[in-house]
Copies of this chain bind each other. A is one copy, B any other.
Amino acid sequence: MAQNVQDLPRELFSGIDRSGSVPLYSQVAQRLEQAIADGTLPAGSRLENEIALGDQLGLSRPTIRRAIQELVDKGLLVRRRGVGTQVVHGPVTRGVELTSLFEDLASSGRTPRTTILDADVRPADDAEADALGVTVGSPVLHLRRLRFADGVPLAVLDNLLPEPFLDLDRAELATDGLYSLLRARGVTMRVAKQRIGARAATPRESELLDLPPGAALLTLARTAFDDSGRAIEFGQHCYRPDLYSFEVTVVDR
């Protein structure tokens, strides 16, 4: 019987750049992802096996495997031992990434704007010191901002930052995202631990977000860590749920 295997057009993989700085597995993953997005690899179709793919591209099997694994983690492909690799049926969604709200908005074509409500340096109380992993009483920057998208109030952002960041520029905070300011200081965010919940808005929040009193809010509490594993930021954000939600793709390995 004829195989249900997709013969990928050669052109799709002709442009592999071995000298550039983009890893080969990453280039392969990108090409596969695009082939899925534009329908070259339709939902449910089977890929050729890993060794054959490697031969066609002049790459080793581990390199191909890593490319495929990347798309499995994104929820685009499914692998079964003894069977093969298939494109997942159903709609394709974008996952949560380690970005800031500001960047999320900008990259989805909306216009973000920020108003600074508060920016104080105060000694850390027990809970704050615990969240940031600093000693009680050490100075921390309390930041409270209101974020707009296309002129509509979207979220109230409360952030705590430890010692090295007490002097963040208020003017820059109004125009750039917090994360881009931190990157400009050479800080690389690596891990964030987030808790997503919901609660009723306080009167103040209702007013700021232009919502009826006691309206439902989507909440995010996040601790972000840098390269060296130090806590860089503790944030407590609340969003207008009619304008914002989170997408997560979960994969069983």
Instruction: Give the chain B neighbours of A252 by CB distance below 8 A.
Output: 97-98, 188-191
Q: Tell me, yes or no, whether A149 is within 8 Å of chain B by CB.
A: no
Check B231 against A78 for contact (C-beta < 8 Å).
Answer: no
Q: Tell me, yes or no, whether A110 is within 8 Å of chain B by CB.
A: no
What total of chain A residues lie within 8 Å of the partner, measured CB to CB? 54
Q: Tell me, yes or no, whether A227 is within 8 Å of chain B by CB.
A: yes
Residues of A within 8 A of B (CB): 43-44, 75, 78, 80, 86-91, 93, 96-98, 130, 133, 188-200, 214-219, 223, 225, 227-231, 241-242, 244-252
Cβ contacts A to B, 30 pairs, < 8 Å: A43-B229, A44-B228, A75-B191, A75-B192, A78-B191, A86-B228, A88-B191, A89-B230, A90-B133, A90-B193, A90-B223, A90-B229, A189-B252, A190-B252, A193-B247, A193-B250, A195-B248, A196-B196, A196-B246, A197-B218, A197-B241, A197-B244, A198-B198, A198-B218, A198-B219, A198-B245, A199-B216, A200-B216, A215-B216, A246-B248
